[in-house]
């Protein structure tokens, strides 16, 4: 079990060093106690025995790799006792100041409810919304689907049309088959276009147009705060963009292009000029002729894009995947139809949707209302449900203390017990903190959980810590009462 791009383990070393030997000592003492009861102390003293090893799933991982499944599990392991789970979580799942935290814990194999605190109450989920989008996209589009960006000819031989196909992870340079962001690169697309123009005897100057008609409706969701847009949390959405709607793949904060389609077309025109094609100044919108494909480039798979979205909590990418999910569901590629498509796909999986209210599919909108129980059911569908295509989302869950949006958490003594063990999607807005994911407990049972805090005191550090401690409790749980 693992997560792609997971190589940051340095933050765990100190905490793990503090926990490892006390844990082993406790195991040794338990073994000694058992031997005393059986009257075998003399034999033990004469021939020292090795302490029972800590289960592999309760050890810090030495490496992270994609697996598409959750292992190991013990089908014969005893179920945690709900009263004991509640006793432990009631001691940790407390807000730091104002507000409240709801939560649900399920046994993944049986679906049995092990903990329920206002689990059916509607809550603002923040970026936990992306879990719903991930499931819907994988079900509607399929894990191996790729989006194609094309350069089409037009009725005017001297005009080429860069046509968006839903790939918002285009790179500015050469295509990189090993990458997720930048698998399709404008430099390669331009070079192939230049070769096609040369073969057709077109010497230029060439006019570059852009076709962004795949997505319809308003580019900017009216449910979003304009302050969030100005801060670069997201941007107006189009069916093609560089760097997930950013100026640079390495600068993930601050202002974004407000028209990613035109920005991308201008960058393509520059690469076309660099490839030796005389290019007219300016970029305009237009339509190409589908039969006249001059060049094309394919994105990373939907599975890879979903993993990137979950690991980095990318709002722009989430909304693009939502629009593509709508299109694959026979709907218009609008914000409203994206939420409709997500709701439909969840219903197809048998997940109740009647009470939820969806204003976007990234979680940036405060108008979203979804229960912790729904998120726990979604995580259960991903980890152990019958729809095998959803397993592709497993690698996208951030790993506590190691990857993604959890890379700098689970490093203090109060939470480090879950480092490397907890896999969970985070969510953060001004007064909202959420954490939904899964752990394999000390007995080898897979537990899924969702914790959502609303009305919290902005900036109070104890709220994330409360959720991290609670997930760590589940990871260490034998919980037999």
Rounded Cα distance, 422 and 362, in Å: 22
**Other Cβ atoms closer than 10 A to 326:** 27
What does the block give as tokens for 248? 């640079």
List C-alpha distances in Å: 356 to 124, 199, 367, 393: 10, 55, 10, 22
pLDDT for residue 69: 60
Cβ atoms of 24 and 85 closer than 8 Å? no
User: What value does the mean pLDDT take over residues 299-312?
Assistant: 98
pLDDT for residue 460: 94
Q: Is the pLDDT of residue 25 over 70?
A: no
How many percent of the chain have pLDDT more than 70? 85
Q: Which residues contact 47 (CB under 8 A, 6 or more apart)?
A: none
How many percent of the chain have pLDDT more than 90? 80
Cβ atoms of 305 and 321 closer than 8 Å? yes
Per-residue model confidence as pLDDT tens digits over 48-64: 444 445 555 555 555 55
Q: Is the pLDDT of residue 24 over 80?
A: no
Give the chain's domains with CATH numbers. 10-132+352-476 (3.40.710.10), 146-300 (3.50.80.20)
Q: Is the pLDDT of residue 32 over 60?
A: no
pLDDT for residue 40: 33
Cβ atoms of 349 and 368 closer than 8 Å? no
Burial class for 244, CB neighbours closer than 10 Å (0-12, 13-18, 19+):
buried
What does the block give as tokens for 451? 């914790």
Burial class for 173, CB neighbours closer than 10 Å (0-12, 13-18, 19+):
exposed
Q: At what angle do helices 186-199 and 260-274 cross, to 10 degrees?
A: 60
User: What is the torsion angle, in degrees rounded to the nearest 10, for the CA atoms of residue 231, residue 233, residue 237 and residue 242?
Assistant: 90
Among the listed residues 445, 410, 447, 444, the one whose alpha carbon sits nearest the alpha carbon of residue 426: 410
Among the listed residues 162, 182, 164, 163, the one whose alpha carbon sits nearest the alpha carbon of residue 173: 182
pLDDT for residue 479: 85
Rounded Cα distance, 270 and 260, in Å: 15
Q: Which residues contact 338 (CB under 8 A, 6 or more apart)?
A: 319, 322, 323, 325, 326, 360, 361
Rounded Cα distance, 238 and 354, in Å: 30
Q: Is the pLDDT of residue 73 over 60?
A: yes
Rounded Cα distance, 165 and 185, in Å: 14
Q: Is the pLDDT of residue 257 over 60?
A: yes
Q: Is the pLDDT of residue 294 over 70?
A: yes
* DSSP state at residue 57: G
User: What value does the mean pLDDT take over residues 122-140?
Assistant: 98
Per-residue model confidence as pLDDT tens digits over 171-192: 999 999 999 999 999 999 999 9
Question: Where does the pLDDT of residue 480 fall: very low under 50, low under 70, confident under 90, or very high at 90 and above?
Answer: confident
Q: Is the pLDDT of residue 131 over 60?
A: yes
pLDDT for residue 104: 98
What does the block give as tokens for 450? 């969702």
- The region of weakest confidence among 39-43, 374-378, 447-451, 463-467 is 39-43
**Other Cβ atoms closer than 10 A to 13:** 12
Q: Is the pLDDT of residue 167 over 70?
A: yes
């Amino acid at each position: 079990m693992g997560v792609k791009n997971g190589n940051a383990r340095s933050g765990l070393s100190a905490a793990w060093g503090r926990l490892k030997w006390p844990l082993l000592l406790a195991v040794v003492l338990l073994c000694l106690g058992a031997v005393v009861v059986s009257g075998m102390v003399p034999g033990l003293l004469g021939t020292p025995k090795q302490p029972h090893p800590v289960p592999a799933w309760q050890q810090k991982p030495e490496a992270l790799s994609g697996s598409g499944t959750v292992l190991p599990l013990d089908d014969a392991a005893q179920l945690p006792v709900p009263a004991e789970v509640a006793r432990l979580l009631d001691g940790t799942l407390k807000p730091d100041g104002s507000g409240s935290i709801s939560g649900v814990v399920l046994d993944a194999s049986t679906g049995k409810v092990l903990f329920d605190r206002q689990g059916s109450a509607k809550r603002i989920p923040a970026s936990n919304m992306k879990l719903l989008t991930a499931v819907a996209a994988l079900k509607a589009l399929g894990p191996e689907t790729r989006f194609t960006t094309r350069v089409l000819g037009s009725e005017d031989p001297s005009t080429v049309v860069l046509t968006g196909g839903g790939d918002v992870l285009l790179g500015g340079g050469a295509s990189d088959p090993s990458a997720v962001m930048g698998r399709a690169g404008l430099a390669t697309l331009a070079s192939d276009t230049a070769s096609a123009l040369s073969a057709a005897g077109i010497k230029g100057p060439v006019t570059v147009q852009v076709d962004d008609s795949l997505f319809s409706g308003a580019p900017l969701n009216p449910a979003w705060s304009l302050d969030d847009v100005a801060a670069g949390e997201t941007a107006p959405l189009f069916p093609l963009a560089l760097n997930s709607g950013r100026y640079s793949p390495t600068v993930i904060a601050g202002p974004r292009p407000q028209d990613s389609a035109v920005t991308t077309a201008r960058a393509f025109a520059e690469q076309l000029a660099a490839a030796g094609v005389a290019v007219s100044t300016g970029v305009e919108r237009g339509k190409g002729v589908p039969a006249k494909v001059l060049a094309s480039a394919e994105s990373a798979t939907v599975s890879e894009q979903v993993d990137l979205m979950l690991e980095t909590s990318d709002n722009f990418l989430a909304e693009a995947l939502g629009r593509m999910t709508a299109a694959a569901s026979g709907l218009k590629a609008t914000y409203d139809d994206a939420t409709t498509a997500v709701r439909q796909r969840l219903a197809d999986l048998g997940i109740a949707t009647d009470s939820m209210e969806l204003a976007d599919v990234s979680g940036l909108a405060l108008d979203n209302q979804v229960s912790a129980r729904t998120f726990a059911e979604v995580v259960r569908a991903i980890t152990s449900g019958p729809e095998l295509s959803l397993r592709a989302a497993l690698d996208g869950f951030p790993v506590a203390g190691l990857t993604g949006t959890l890379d700098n958490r689970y490093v203090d003594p109060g939470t480090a017990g879950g480092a490397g063990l907890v896999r969970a999607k985070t969510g953060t807005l001004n007064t909202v903190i959420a954490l939904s994911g899964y752990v394999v407990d000390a007995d080898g049972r897979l537990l899924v959980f969702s914790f959502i805090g609303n009305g919290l005191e902005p900036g109070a550090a104890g709220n994330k810590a409360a959720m991290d401690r609670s997930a760590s409790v589940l990871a260490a749980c034998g919980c037999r009462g």
